[in-house]
Amino acid sequence: MADKPPRRPRAETPKGFRDYFGAEVTERKAMLDRIAGVYHRYGFDPLETSAVETVEALGKFLPDVDRPNEGVFAWQDEDADWLALRYDLTAPLARVAAQYRNDLPSPYRRYAMGPVWRNEKPGPGRFRQFYQCDADTVGSPSVAADAEICAMLADCLEEVGIPRGDYLVKVNNRKVLNGVMEIAGLAGDDKEAERGIVLRAIDKIDRLGAEGVRALLRGGRKDESGDFTKGAGLASEQAEVVMGFTTAKRHTGAATVARLRELVGTSVIGAEGVAELEAIAALLEAQGYGPDRIVLDPGVVRGLGYYTGPVYEAELTFEILDEKGRKRQFGSVAGGGRYDGLVKRFTGQDVPATGVSIGVDRLLAALRAKGRSAGDTAGPVVVTVMDRDRMADYMAMVGELRQAGIRAEVYLGNPKNFGNQLKYADKRASPVAVIQGGNEAAAGTVILKDLILGAKIAESATLEEWKDRPAQVEVPRADLAAAVRKMLGA
Amino acid sequence: MADKPPRRPRAETPKGFRDYFGAEVTERKAMLDRIAGVYHRYGFDPLETSAVETVEALGKFLPDVDRPNEGVFAWQDEDADWLALRYDLTAPLARVAAQYRNDLPSPYRRYAMGPVWRNEKPGPGRFRQFYQCDADTVGSPSVAADAEICAMLADCLEEVGIPRGDYLVKVNNRKVLNGVMEIAGLAGDDKEAERGIVLRAIDKIDRLGAEGVRALLRGGRKDESGDFTKGAGLASEQAEVVMGFTTAKRHTGAATVARLRELVGTSVIGAEGVAELEAIAALLEAQGYGPDRIVLDPGVVRGLGYYTGPVYEAELTFEILDEKGRKRQFGSVAGGGRYDGLVKRFTGQDVPATGVSIGVDRLLAALRAKGRSAGDTAGPVVVTVMDRDRMADYMAMVGELRQAGIRAEVYLGNPKNFGNQLKYADKRASPVAVIQGGNEAAAGTVILKDLILGAKIAESATLEEWKDRPAQVEVPRADLAAAVRKMLGA
């Protein structure tokens, strides 16, 4: 009725979001299943919270976000409550631990996996929806809980295909850093902003280098684009105390502990942190997790403000080529730590908690970069349609194949052009095409075309080597499933 | 610094959302895995789109929604684009099929599973986030594609544990209904609203009964609360044509087809629909899907306006007790149909498509109602802490158990009160507690407590029958894993 047709909607993913096809989905699922298996074996129970939380419950704990409430996707519902998509799996856990505190076992040990959403500027390989896979122990103040999670993290990485030697779990303790800050004159409630600047600066040491971090500890730093970032305002001597901390790693855990003990000097909180690190190292060693898997490393601080004790991070240590073809270390794929204050937000009571988050999408990218991903990419056997009036016959064939456990389908597009049917089979990575025209039907046979062998023959310079392996066979109709299975080599 | 402490956030799920714990998560995952296995065997490939779509791409296809744009969770991003959470998995598929039309195989056969969100009034058992599990064939006009999906739906239900006889897949065709409407005088663009009223009325026949539907076909209907719903305004004779359609089901498919052929009379579209139903029935019969699994049933219309041809629905036929203790049929757990217009919205070109959506959460509820759910509920073996200075020893024990493939954990709460440790093991449904105090450590032994047997003894009136099965044994420390495995009966 209108004068011109309405504009058609654009078929586009929203900016910063993407779709995952075929093996991309099965690869991730296989990885999540493997990690869940490890978490389960360690005694963690699954929890699935909804994607939507009240903004009030989520709080403002996004890392590196100077402007709170930015960084999440939020909207106001019809009752004027603000709702938002979860930005991690820890905030919902804190809400659950508070909401069900009278019913849950204590300690409450749960794992969770699923997408989280960040309303941040998308970039190459940086999406606004990505998967996390977490395990946390809520209600245990024991460093044994932290040590266990570090061991479990190492187990998870090996389980998904990162061999020992290709990763390192690095452990540190925020209390040690707090002790160092105390010594550097950054104790006290009025210095919170400065401590935040110091934390974030140390966290960026790989990218900024020692000089960049030093600048941020002192007056500030101008980056290559000319933008100025305000520093923590430390005097030179104070800044060197903090810098000493970033380089405190020694060849053995014991030597690192000794060096840290020097650095924290008379700080009570610092000494407590060093003792905790020592205890974690001892527990891990007793279980056989040596420095080839887990090391103490004061360089690890984790940007998040809410950590209160041990922090840990898993790094992949092999080199990959970046988008510009330069070699670089793959870097961090998982991290976590102790956060004793998150549940207290709700209840007012101290609830010690510690946990890890594995960045599944990054880990998948790492495996792909090493050529080690293992998604299921075998397409279905395609039963072609030579005679559209005999669709029931072709459907009966796929029915038999499926009964025999073979992935199979009838070609459901327009059957007129047979070439299109073979092109379709090729696009689906189909291993076998089944063909039955009128002659075969009359003879009670079917033709099986080995498409994998066919593709190899097409690539090969000489046909000689293939001549004993026919890429096409005619078999009795009654032998269909058995003959296909034989061709599949199963 | 403030005069009074800030108000604490409420630890609450947003209204209409819920959390899933332990077996609730593993049960659903097991069901999704089984359904995915069937979809895979049928040749469908996985697709995972993001939870977020542009409102423009989603369109306004929510069922039964008189107010478009209500019914979804939507917000405006910083570029003023409106984004929303997907309300089903079909709208994102239509977007994908249009966006990647030059790269995807044709037909494109995909399955998808995941949560969808509806901004609707929550009710008992009705949540604003729930799972769907879909399979669709895009790009095939053949009714073989529809028939296949009906067969696959039957296979899925049996695969997840609904035995033959406890479900029925009912098939109908919108074209038949359109033919009936034509005969009843409801053809033409100006009658779209009336046709919508007729569709929704028939869809509610189970709830409203024949008289209620008849009222909606004519002037309108006043419900028990006194609310009036406007009717389609049909004259008595026209209404009876439509009513005849709702009762057209006969004992055999052939008889139903014959009756429908009478009803659609001279309508071309109606005759086309009847022929399609006949073809679907023939294809299914050739594959052995008889009326014990799949039947033609003109009572099925599916509320969604976008269906254009065959529609299908899976109903569970067993009775359950509702919340008021009354017997009732469980009803629909899955449905779908042919929707040839959804991709055309984007591209302007006809893209025939058909698919099914399984309501996983309803299906789980059905299995639970029948006592047939099969979630993994075995808790971990709990290694208790008798001596907190020997944490490393206890960690070594769980390490050995896990190495042996046994789910195990150290008690990580405050170990002071041993009773609390056993209460914890009980709450976790732990099968075995491992105990090693100073005496056992000195003797090189551990004590294993069979908590399942212990619980049975506590329930039993007489201890006699248990006396030969000790609920507690002391074994050499070196035999820990083997002895636990024996106690687990594995």
Over residues B340-374, the pLDDT tens digits come to: 888 999 999 989 999 999 999 999 988 888 877 66
How distant is the Cα of A9 from the closest Cα of chain B, in angstroms?
6
In angstroms, the Cα distances linking B346 to A5, A14, A173, B48 are: 13, 15, 54, 20
**How is chain B split into domains, by residue range?**
23-183+246-369, 381-488
Give A467 or A354, the one with higher predicted confidence. Answer: A354
Q: Which of B22, B106, B286 sits opposite A413 (nearest CB)?
A: B106
- In this predicted model, what pLDDT tens digit does every residue of B13-63 receive, in sequence order? 999 999 999 999 999 999 999 999 999 999 999 999 999 999 989 886 555
- Cα–Cα–Cα angle for A246, A249, A250, nearest 5°? 150
More confident residue, A34 or A327: A34
Distance (Å) from the alpha carbon of B211 to chain A's nearest alpha carbon = 36
Partner-chain residue, chosen from A144, A392, A413, that has the shortest CB–CB distance to B410? A144
Partner-chain contact B77 A14, CB within 8 Å? yes
Nearest to B164 by CA among B151, B148, B175: B151
Give percent of chain A above pLDDT 70: 93
Closest chain A residue by Cα to residue B99: A11
Rounded mean pLDDT of B188-196? 84
Bridge partners for B296 per DSSP: B171
Out of B144, B346, B380, the one facing A9 most closely (by C-beta) is B346
Residue of higher predicted confidence among B342 and A21: A21
Alpha helix positions (H), A123-204: 143-159, 174-183, 192-203
Domain B23-183+246-369, CATH homologous superfamily name and number: Bira Bifunctional Protein; Domain 2 (3.30.930.10)
Tokens of A350: 């101290």
Residue B68 has what pLDDT?
43
Is it true that A23-188+247-369 and A381-487 share their CATH fold?
Answer: no
What does the pLDDT read at residue B241? 87
At residue A451, does pLDDT exceed 60?
Answer: yes
Chain mean position to CA B400: 39
Nearest CA in chain B to A101: B11
What is the pLDDT, as a whole number, of residue A391? 94
Query: How confident is the model over B403-450, as pLDDT tens digits?
Result: 999 999 999 999 999 999 999 999 999 999 999 999 999 999 999 999
Distance from CA of A202 to the nearest CA of B (A): 29
CB contact under 8 A, A46 and B52: no
Q: Which of A18, A20, A25 to mutate to probe the B interface, most B CBs <10 Å?
A: A25
Question: Taking CB atoms and an 8 Å cutoff, what residues of chain B touch A390?
Answer: none
Count Cα atoms within 13 angstroms, Cβ side, for B448. 25
Mutate to test the interface with A, among B8, B17, B42, B45 (most CBs of A within 10 A): B45
Q: What is the structure's pLDDT at A153?
A: 98
Average pLDDT over residues A387-402: 94
The two three-digit tokens of residue A407, written as one number: 């992935």
For B285, name the nearest residue in chain A, comparing CA atoms only: A392
**pLDDT at residue A459 above 90?**
no
Mean of pLDDT values over A65-71: 55
CA distance, residue B54 to nearest chain A CA (Å): 6
Q: Reduced to 3 states, what is the DSSP secondary structure of residue A440?
A: helix
Across the interface, of A21, A26, A56, the residue whose CB is closest to B10 is: A56
Whether residues B105 and A283 touch (CB distance < 8 A) is answered with no
CATH architecture of A381-487: 3-Layer(aba) Sandwich (3.40)
Q: What is the amino acid identity at position A186?
A: L
Closest-CA residue to B296 (of B242, B268, B254, B264): B254
* Residues from chain B contacting residue A151 (CB–CB below 8 Å): 399
**Cβ of B43 and A413 within 8 Å?**
no
Q: Which of A14, A189, A346 has its CB closest to that of B53?
A: A14
Q: Looking at CA atoms only, how far is residue B402 from chain A in angstroms?
A: 6
Note the pLDDT tens digit of each residue in A252-269.
Answer: 888 999 999 999 989 999
Asked if the Cβ–Cβ distance from B50 to A99 is below 8 Å, we say: no
| DSSP state at residue B450 | E
pLDDT tens digits along B382-395: 999 999 999 999 99
With beta carbons less than 8 A apart as the criterion, state whether B277 and B257 touch.
yes
Confidence of residue B461 (pLDDT cuts 50, 70, 90): low
Cα torsion through A456, A457, A459, A463, rounded to 10: 140
CB neighbourhood size of A269 (10 A): 18
Give the containing element (helix H, strand E) for B29: helix B23-41
Min Cα distance B95 → chain A (Å) is: 5
Which ipTM did the prediction report?
A: 0.90
Across the interface, do A53 and B98 touch by the CB < 8 Å criterion?
no
Q: Identify all chain B residues contacting A139, using CB atoms and an 8 Å cutoff.
A: 412-413
User: What pLDDT, on a 0 to 100 scale, did the predictor assign at position A64?
Assistant: 45
Q: Average pLDDT, stretch A33-60?
A: 94
Give B267's pLDDT tier (boundaries 50, 70, 90).
Answer: very high
CB contact under 8 A, A8 and B347: yes
| Topology of the domain comprising B381-488 | Rossmann fold (3.40.50)
Which of B9, B283, B409 has the CB atom closest to A346's CB atom? Answer: B9
| CB-based contact A96 B20, cutoff 8 Å | no
**Chain B: closest CA distance from residue A392 (Å):** 5
Is B56 close to A96, i.e. CB distance below 8 A?
A: no
Q: Decide if B413 and A106 are in contact by the 8 Å CB cutoff.
A: yes
Give the pLDDT mean for A76-80.
79
- Among B54, B382, B395, the residue with its CB nearest the CB of A14 is B54
User: B412, A148: Cβ pair inside 8 Å?
Assistant: yes
Whole-number Å distance between alpha carbons of B356 and B113: 12
Distance from CA of A368 to the nearest CA of B (A): 19
Percent of chain B with pLDDT strictly greater than 70: 93
**Residue B99 CA from chain centroid, whole number:** 28
Say yes or no for a CB contact (<8 Å) between A26 and B46. Answer: yes
CB contacts, 8 Å: A22 with chain B: 45-47
Amino acid B61: pLDDT: 56
How far does the CA of residue A97 sit from the closest CA of chain B (Å)? 9
Q: What is the DSSP string of B76-143?
A: E-TTS-EEEE-SSSHHHHHHHHHHTTTTS-SSEEEEEEEEEE-BS--BTTB-SEEEEEEEEEES---H
What's the helix, strand, coil split of chain B in %, to 5?
40, 20, 35
pLDDT at A376: 60
Per-residue pLDDT tens digits for A86-140: 999 999 999 999 999 999 999 999 999 999 999 988 887 789 999 999 999 999 9
With 0-12 / 13-18 / 19 or more C-beta atoms within 10 angstroms meaning exposed / middle / buried, residue B79 is exposed
**Secondary structure of A126-148 in the HEC alphabet?**
ECCEEEEEEEEEECCCCHHHHHH
Query: What pLDDT score was predicted for residue B432?
Result: 96
Band of residue B466 on the pLDDT scale cut at 50, 70, 90? low
Of B42, B59, B75, the CB nearest to A9: B59
Residue B485: per-residue pLDDT: 96
CB contact under 8 A, B47 and A73: no
Range A296-312 average pLDDT: 84
Does the distance separating the beta carbons of B107 and A40 come in below 8 Å? no
- The residue that leads in pLDDT, B486 or B300, is B486
* pLDDT value of position A198: 87
What's the alpha-carbon Rg for chain B, to the nearest Å? 29
CATH architecture entry for A23-188+247-369:
2-Layer Sandwich (3.30)
Report the share of chain A in percent with pLDDT over 90. Answer: 62
Average pLDDT value over all residues in chain A: 89
Burial label, A121 (beta-carbon count in 10 A; 0-12, 13-18, 19+)? exposed
Q: Is the pLDDT of residue A80 over 80?
A: no
**Residue A251 pLDDT level (bands cut at 50, 70, 90):** confident
Q: What is the mean pLDDT of the segment spanning B162-189?
A: 91
pLDDT at B329: 80
What pLDDT, on a 0 to 100 scale, did the predictor assign at position B195?
84
Write down the pLDDT at residue A67: 44
Specify which residues A418 forms β-bridges with. Answer: none
Distance from CA of B22 to the nearest CA of A (A): 5
d(CA B178, CA A255): 82
Give the model's confidence band at A62: pLDDT under 50 very low, under 70 low, under 90 confident, else very high. Answer: low
Contact A52 B427 (CB under 8 A): no
Q: Which residues from A are below 8 Å from B6, CB to CB?
A: none
**Peptide bond preceding A107 in cis form (omega within 30 of 0):** yes
**pLDDT exceeds cutoff 90 at A475:** yes
- The pLDDT assigned to B396 comes to 94
Chain A and chain B share a number of CB contacts under 8 A equal to 289
Q: Most A CBs within 10 Å: which of B412, B428, B434, as the mutation test of the A interface?
A: B412
Instruction: Report pLDDT for B468.
Output: 61
- Contact check, Cβ <8 Å, A13/B99: yes
Mutate one of A1, A7, A18, A21 to test the B interface: name it (highest B CB count within 10 A): A21
Contact B41/A137, CB-based, under 8 Å? no
Q: What is the pLDDT of residue B392?
A: 94
The listed range with the strongest mean pLDDT (A78-87, A180-189, A241-250, B108-117) is: B108-117
